[in-house]
A = this chain, B = another copy of it.
Amino acid sequence: MPKRRSYDEAPPCAIVATLNLINGRWKGVILYYLTVNGTMRFNELHRHLPGCTPRLLTKQLRELEDDCFITRTVYAVVPPKVEYALTEEGRSIAPILMQMNDWGARWLQRRGLRPQSNEAA
């Protein structure tokens, strides 16, 4: 059973539930990159998230794993190699992420900020 976090409380409101799952500083972007790029390694992901410490990245990844959004595959090699990929469940939110990306880009533009392109690595 996935470990629950603080904001998972009683009334099962669908919107609140959805937001709780992708809340967390980088979860949305992580899922987005995995959607676009497919399988990614830890540092590969890390390079795409300027300002995210490894500690926090690890935490967010673990939570996404607990919530069955991603899988974590460890290869027994030296140096270590760990790959992250979306599960079926993880792929199912892709439409929402894409819409958020589009909407957010337009929002940024309306405010005169050029959104950084979120393209494949």
Q: Which residues of A contact B (CB under 8 A)?
A: 7, 9-19, 21-23, 25-26, 28-29, 32, 50-51, 89, 92-93, 95-97, 99-105, 107-108, 113-116, 118
Contact = CB atoms under 8 A, between A and B. Distances in A.
A118 B13 CA distance: 7
16 contacts: A11-B50, A13-B118, A14-B105, A14-B107, A14-B108, A14-B115, A14-B118, A15-B29, A15-B104, A17-B104, A17-B108, A19-B28, A23-B23, A96-B96, A96-B100, A99-B99
Contact of A22 (B19, B93, B108, B114): B19
A60 to B, nearest CB: 13
B11 A51 contact: yes
Given A17-B108, A108-B17, A9 B100 contact: no
A99 B95 contact: yes
